[in-house]
Amino acid sequence: PKYSGFDLSAYLDADHAECHLDRKSTSGSVQFLGDKLVCWSTKKQNYVSISTAESEYVTVSDCCA
């Protein structure tokens, strides 16, 4: 197929149990179309993760949903 010239990139990160009050993790993401920022978000996750890997998995699933 012919190259359309659009590159969509997403960068994600999460911390594990950063909130000391409820031990919930925080997710963050940015999306770029080419070199332009088109979307960003940060939010506290809805439940307590038991590992850093689980926190990262939740972040990826939220971004792709």
Per-residue pLDDT tens over the stretch 16-61:
888 788 999 999 999 999 999 999 999 998 889 899 889 988 888 8
Whether this model's pTM surpasses 0.85: no
pLDDT bin (cut points 50, 70, 90) of residue 2 is confident
Give the chain as a DSSP string: ----S--EEEEEEEESS--TTT---EEEEEEEETTEEEEEEEEE-SS--SSHHHHHHHHHHHHH-
